[in-house]
Structures are given as structure tokens and as C-alpha cells.
Amino acid sequence: MAGGGVGAPLGVAKERVDQYKGRVTAFVLTACFVAAVGGAIFGYDIGISGGVTSMDPFLKKFFPVVYRKKNSPSKNNYCKYDNQGLSAFTSSLYLAGLVASLVASTVTRKYGRRASIICGGISFMIGATLNAAAQNLAMLLLGRIMLGVGIGFGNQAVPLYLSEMAPAHLRGGLNMMFQLATTLGIFSANMINYGTQKLNPWGWRLSLGLAAVPAFLMTLGGLLLPETPNSLIEQGNPQLGRKVLEKIRGTSEVDAEFQDMTEASELANSIKHPFRNILERRNRPQLVMAIFMPTFQILTGINSILFYAPVLFQSMGFGGNASLYSSVMTGAVLALSTLVSIATVDRWGRRVLLIAGGIQMIICQVIVAIILGLKFGQDKQLSKEFSVTVVVVVCLFVAAFGWSWGPLGWTVPSEIFPLETRSAGQSITVSVNLFFTFVIAQSFLTLLCSFKFGIFLFFAGWITVMTVFVYVFLPETKGVPIEEMVLLWRKHWFWKKVMPPLVIEEGKDVGVEVREF
């Protein structure tokens, strides 16, 4: 059993957070801002596909069957876009990201967070170029796959980079720069789609090709940014790691935080198989969160709205311009609501936001289902009044996601792992997220055709489950230093029963694992 055995440390030996010194420097804010551009690309790719797939010139060229169904008055409104090829255009990106994230874990651990950020940026630029120049479906899908590789690397490295650069007391807010950038990317994509739909027949090429702009910024940022102190120490360069730590904290009094990082690094370097180690009993709570937090984030149903907002609104009877305009509104709401989370997450904590956001999302999903069930169907359209109501309720749903599960679905998993399993844990988080994103992207149009308004009740059920899960199983991580997070689980009523027992080593109150046979 890797890493097990009597005397194997659990991470840092004691809590030293009260001894941490430093302030939020312009250096760390700049580093976090530049790194979070990776989130903008992720958001842009989420938002751009739904608008492009609703454009007639794009459908005529690559999916003529869908184009004919879309313009057929006899076709069921819920089923006009039900096509596995069209779904594959969206979902192939996330399947590629799933595979790439596994490779990115090794790169992030061995070569640092910057290396993965640079790899992601280059892959994004290649993918955007291929998509903009696509002349056939194969070239189009290849471009999407390269974008997926970029997502696998970017989503692996950027949240880790932000968590490790941020001071403990502001880690939640600064980490959410990734989510804020994601929401701004979605909003930008919706605005661009709204403008390029009028540029026939090549507007869709501009929409897809503009992804190269944030990709270039991400690559440039990766080249200019410093490596995180944690990663430098883990790679055997503690002197430079301390120098960077002093620089980003704005003080030379970093002994306590540096000691925590050094202890965590010593354990990390003793672990030869982090993926095997993460399966051990002492890492069970973090593993559960790494699996369930991204799973629940996707099962809110948010991606079905963000991917297919124009398609969804057109299916509900909105015209082309109205559907894109409505998706622009949802993108704006998502970006603004993320600011609420940034302002409150380190004051109110993670649990309060997750639970309150879950309750609001449940109510919104049920309301939309009731309206569509009573007022919309194959032979009837929504009235203007009910159409406005649906858009408002969808915006309230998006707002709840934006200040709760949107940013915190990434923040919580990125901050709970000890250094020895951090890259492996983030890889699992990204892989699970991308797997369920792929599943929803590939199946949503078919589910919409089959379930009709019931699709919203389906997602409401999952939101209920995940809200209860947070209430019961997630401890509050607000203000806990990332290197001392391992001590938190032993204070939780449930997880302290799951984790292995503590023993006293040489008179010191140090947690060690008793080998399991």
C-alpha cells in the first residue's frame, strides 16, 4: 500500500494558521487574474456552441438533416434539434478533455502548474484555428478535440494555481476568478453569437475562431507567470519556492506557511503513486468530494442551458433573434451572480452558499416544468407573458448556480487535497466533471425530446439530492489553510469515523495512519 504504514504522516503536523503573515499583494492579484483567463476560454467554448448550432448557415453546411427538421412546421417542438451528430459537435470537446486531463495530472505534478497552463493555451489556439477554417465535419470535430485537450490541461492547472497562490483567508474569493472568467467567457460568446448571426454565411466561423484570443492570453500568461511556491518546493527547489512565497505575500515573515509547505512536500515526494495513494482510507473524504462535487455541479442541469440556450429557447417557440437575446441575458446574469459569490464566500462560507443556491435552483426548475407542462406542447406555443416568465425564472436559476455551485463546484475540490495527492485529486475532479458534461451534452437533446417538460423535474430531483449531501457530508472549509485542510476531516461527525485512528508518535500529537491489512 503506497504511502501507508505506521509512522506515515497525514500531512502537516499541526495547525499554524495563526502564525501566517502577509497581505494581498498586487503581484498575487495579477497572477490570479492572468491565470483565470483559462476560465474565459472554458466559458467561451461552453457558450459558443449553442449559438453556432442554431445558425442556419452552419446547419446547412454540416448538419442539413437538422436544418430541415428545424424548419419543418410538422416536427415536434421538443425534437427539432434531436440529432446525435449535432450533439457530438458539442460533446466531443468534453470527451477529449476527459482523456487529456489524465495526462495533464502528470505534467502538472512533475513539471509544474505553468507547464499545463501553456500546453492548454497552445491546444486552444490550434483548435480555434481548425474550427474557423473547417471545410468538412472531420476538420470541425478535430478542432473541437484540440479545444478539449486545452480544457483538460487548463481545468487541471488553473484552479490549482489559484488555490496555491492565494492567501488562506481569501482563497475562496481569489479562486473564484476562474469561475468569474468562465462566466464572462460565456457572456462574451453569447454576445458574439448575437452579432455574428447576421454575418451570413460566414458568421459562425468568426464565432468559433475568436476563441484564439483568450487562448493567446492564457499562453502568454503561462510564459510570464511564476510557478507556485508549493510546486517549486515539491520539485526540489525550496530556496526559489520561499523567494516566490515572500514575493507574493509581501513579507519575509513566511516561516509558518513555508514550514507547512515543506512538510507537505516531503510527504508528497515520498508518494510514488498518487492515484493509488488517493484510494487509501485516510484520503477517503477528499476522494468522495472529488467525485461527487463535480458530478452534482453538472447534474444541476446548468450545462443544458448554457450549451443549448438558443436551441432550448427556439424549441420553446422563441424566434432566432429572441432566443439568442435570451441566452445573452442568461450569460450576463451568470457573470454578475458570480460576483456575489466572490464577495461572500470567505465571509459566509461554502456550505451556506451551496445549500441556499440549491434550494433556489429546485424552485426554479419546478416552476419552469409546470409552465411548460401546462402551456406548451407540440400543438401550442408559449404566449408572450409566459415566455417572459420562463426567461425570468431561467435567469433566477442561472443566478443561483452562479453564486453557489458554479464557482464552488471547482473551489471546494481544489482546496481540500494534501499536496501528495493534489494533482491526482484535481485530475479526478476535472475528469468526472468532463465525463458528466460529455454525457449531458450528448444526451440532452434526446432527453428533451423524450422527457419534454419533465427534463426540468429530472434535474430538480438531482439538485435536491446534492443539497442534502452538502448539508450532511461537507465540512466548512472557510479560512482553513490549504496545507492544514487534512486536519479538518477529523473534526467532522461522519468523516472522523471513516478515517484511520490516530496514534501518538514519540510524545507528539501527530496524526499517523495505522496500516490496514
CATH number of the domain residue 481 falls in? 1.20.1250.20
What range defines the domain where residue 482 resides?
Answer: 17-498
Interval 27-49 mean pLDDT: 80
- From the list 516, 514, 233, 286, the residue with the least C-alpha distance to 421 is 286
Backbone phi, psi, residue 9, to 5°: -75, 155
Interhelix angle for 84-111 vs 419-451, to 10°? Answer: 180
Helix residue spans in 299-418 (DSSP H): 302-315, 320-348, 350-375, 384-402, 405-415
Q: CA 450, 455, 461 angle in degrees (round to 5)?
A: 135
Query: Is 5 inside a domain boundary?
Result: no
494 domain-assigned: yes
Nearest to 129 by CA among 118, 110, 109, 143: 143
Write out pLDDT tens, residues 204-238. 999 999 999 889 988 988 888 889 998 998 888 99
Residue among 51, 117, 19 nearest 311 (CA): 51
Q: Which three cell numbers stand for residue 368?
A: 419552469
Using pLDDT thresholds of 50, 70 and 90, give the confidence band for residue 355. very high
Q: Is the pLDDT of residue 322 over 70?
A: no
Count other C-beta atoms under 10 Å from residue 261's C-beta. Answer: 29
Count the Cβ atoms, other than its own, within 10 Å of residue 205: 18
Residue whose grid cell is 402551456: 375
pLDDT recorded at residue 9: 39
Domain annotation covers residue 107: yes
Mean pLDDT of the 354-361 span: 96
Neighbours of 504 (CB within 10 A): 10
For 70, the enclosing helix (H) or strand (E) is helix 64-70
| CA-wise closest residue to 472 among 491, 487, 493, 488 | 493
Whether residue 345 contacts residue 405, with contact meaning beta carbons closer than 8 Å, is answered with: no
Look at residue 320 in the predicted model and tell me its pLDDT.
58
Give the single-character DSSP code of 512.
B
pLDDT value of residue 146: 95
The confidence score (pLDDT) of residue 514 equals: 37
* Cell numbers given for 241: 519556492
Q: What is the mean pLDDT of the chain?
A: 82
Whether the per-residue pLDDT at 129 is higher than 60: the answer is yes
Query: pLDDT tens digit string along 50-93?
Result: 788 878 899 999 999 988 887 777 666 678 788 888 888 888 98
Residue at 481 is within a domain: yes
User: In the structure grid, which three cell numbers stand for residue 452, read together?
Assistant: 419534454
Number of domains the chain is built from: 1
> Given a cut of 70, is residue 182 above it in pLDDT?
yes
Question: What pTM did the predictor assign?
Answer: 0.75
Is 94 in contact with 151 (CB distance < 8 Å)? Answer: yes
In the predicted model, what is the mean pLDDT of residues 197-204? 86
Residues 6 or more apart from 500 whose CB is under 8 A from it?
Answer: 281, 282, 513, 514, 516
In a domain, 371, yes or no: yes
508 — pLDDT class (breaks 50, 70, 90): very low
Q: How far apart are CA 121 and CA 154, in angstroms?
A: 7
Whether residue 155 contacts residue 433, with contact meaning beta carbons closer than 8 Å, is answered with yes
More reliable by pLDDT, 155 or 172? 155
The SS3 of residue 508 is strand
What mean pLDDT comes out for the span 188-203? 86
Task: Collapse the DSSP code of 507 into the 3-class scheme (helix H, G, I; strand E, B; otherwise coil) and give the result.
Answer: coil
DSSP line for 428-493: HHHHHHHHHHHHHHHHHHHHHHHHTTHHHHHHHHHHHHHHHHHHHHPPP-TT--GGGGGGTGGGST
User: What number is the average pLDDT over the span 251-277?
Assistant: 79
361 confidence band (pLDDT: 50, 70, 90)? very high
Comparing 299 with 199, the larger pLDDT belongs to: 299
Is the link from the previous residue into 201 a cis peptide, with omega within 30 of 0? yes
pLDDT tens digits, residue range 404-423? 998 899 889 888 888 778 77
Task: Answer yes or no: is 2 within a domain.
Answer: no
What is the predicted pLDDT for the residue at 236?
86
Say if 204 falls within a structural domain.
Answer: yes
pLDDT band of 281, cuts 50, 70, 90: confident
Instruction: Give which of 153, 112, 419 is closest to 277, Cα–Cα.
Output: 419
**Percent of the chain whose pLDDT exceeds 90:** 27
Residue 345: the pLDDT is: 87
Taking residues 271-275, what's their average pLDDT?
Answer: 71
Residue 184, in any domain of the structure: yes
Q: Are 204 and 55 in contact (CB under 8 A)?
A: yes
pLDDT of 358 above 90: yes
Q: Is the pLDDT of residue 380 over 70?
A: no
What pLDDT was estimated at residue 10?
44
Please state, in angstroms and rounded to a whole number, the distance separating the CA atoms of residues 218 and 42: 11
* Cell matching residue 355: 445549500
